[in-house]
Amino acid sequence: MSRITVLGGTGYAGAAIVAEAARRGHEVTSVSRTAPTAPIAGVDYVTGSVLDAAVLDQVVPGRDVVISALSPRGDMAGKVEDVVRELARRVDGTPTRVAHVGGASSLHTEPGGPRLWDVTHEHIPADVKPEVVTGLNVLDDLRATPESVDWFYVSPPEKFGSWESTPVKGAYQLGGDVLLRNEAGESTISAADLALAILDEIEKPAHRRKRFTAIH
C-alpha cells in the first residue's frame, strides 16, 4: 500500500486517480479548494489551496507519491509551475515521488520529430495557449531538477477532457515521448483509463525521471 496525495483531486483527471487509488487499497489524500460532491469512503479530503504552504505541510511529508493534477486555468493560470517547483524542492533527497499530469503538446509527432506544440501553436486559441505553455514549462522544470528528485510526468493523448465523453475501456496502450494514435488514427483516453496507467506506474515504477503517455 502506498500513501498517495493528489492535488486537484476533485478535477477530471484528479478524481479518477483518487478513485482508482482508493479502489486498489492505497491510502489516499485528495486536496482541492472545493469539497467533492460524491466523496469516496476511506479517502482523506483536504479542502484548501495548494498555494498555502500550511496545506502542503499537511499533505506532502511522508507520502510515497504526490501527484499534481492541477488545472492551470482561471486564478491558477501561471501558478502551477511554482507549485510543482515547490513540490520538487520539498521532496528533494527523500523517497517521495512527484508526478504531474500535463498535456499532449510536449509530445513529439514522430520519433525525432517536432513537438505537437511546434506544429499546432499558431492555431491554438489565445486563451488556451497559457495552459498549454504551463504543461511545457513543468516538464522542462522537472527535467532540470537534481537527480535526487524522483519524478514522473504524464502526457494525456491529444484529445482528453470531460468534454470528450470518452468511454471507459479498462485498458490502455503505453507510450513514451511520442504522440500515440490507435488503428483508427485517434489519440484519446478516458480519465479512468489514464488513472490505470498512473496507478500501475506507482505500483511498479518504470518511468523514473521520465515522461509517459497512454491512449486507448
CA 60 to chain centre: 16
Q: Which domain holds residue 43?
A: 3-215
* Contact residues for 130 (Cβ-Cβ < 8 A; gap 6+): 72, 77, 78
pTM score: 0.96
Strand bridging mode 210-215 / 173-175? antiparallel
Compute the radius of gyration of the chain from its Cα atoms: 16
CA distances 55 to 23, 58, 83, 137, 197, Å, are 25, 5, 12, 24, 27
Cell 515522461 belongs to residue: 211
Percent of the chain residues topping a pLDDT of 70: 100
What's the rounded mean pLDDT across residues 139-153? 98
Tally of domains within the chain: 1
What is the spatial order of strands in the sheet that 65-68 belongs to? 44-47, 27-32, 3-7, 65-68, 97-101, 150-155, 210-215, 173-175
Mean pLDDT taken over the chain: 96
CATH number of the domain residue 114 falls in: 3.40.50.720
